[in-house]
Amino acid sequence: MTKTIDYYMSPSSPWTYLGHARFAALAKKHGATVNVKPVDFGVIFPQSGGLPVAKRAPQRQAYRLVELKRWSEHLGVPLVIHPRHFPVDATLAAELICGAPETQRMALAGELLSALWKDDRNLADPALLQEIGRSHGVSAGDRTAFAAYTQEALARQVFGAPSYVYRGEIFWGQDRLELLERALAKSQ
Map out the domains of the chain as residue ranges: 4-186
4-186, which class in CATH? Answer: alpha beta
How confident is the model over 174-179, as a mean pLDDT?
Answer: 98
pLDDT at 128: 98
Sheet holding 4-9, edge to edge: 33-38, 4-9, 163-166, 169-172
pLDDT at 141 over 80: yes
How confident is the model over 58-83, as a mean pLDDT?
Answer: 98
Tell me the C-alpha distance between 58 and 114, whole Å.
27
How many Cα atoms are found within 13 Å in the side-chain-facing hemisphere of 108? 32
Q: In degrees, to the nearest 5, what angle opens at C-alpha 177 toward C-alphas 173 and 182?
A: 140
pLDDT at 135: 94
How confident is the model over 61-74, as a mean pLDDT?
Answer: 98
Contact between 102 and 68 under an 8 Å Cβ cutoff? The reply is no
How confident is the model over 14-40, as a mean pLDDT?
Answer: 98
**Average pLDDT over the chain, rounded to an integer:** 97
pLDDT at 187: 86
pLDDT at 103 over 90: yes
Name the residue with higher pLDDT: 127 or 1. 127
3-state SS, residue 161: coil
pLDDT at 38: 98
pLDDT at 6 over 80: yes
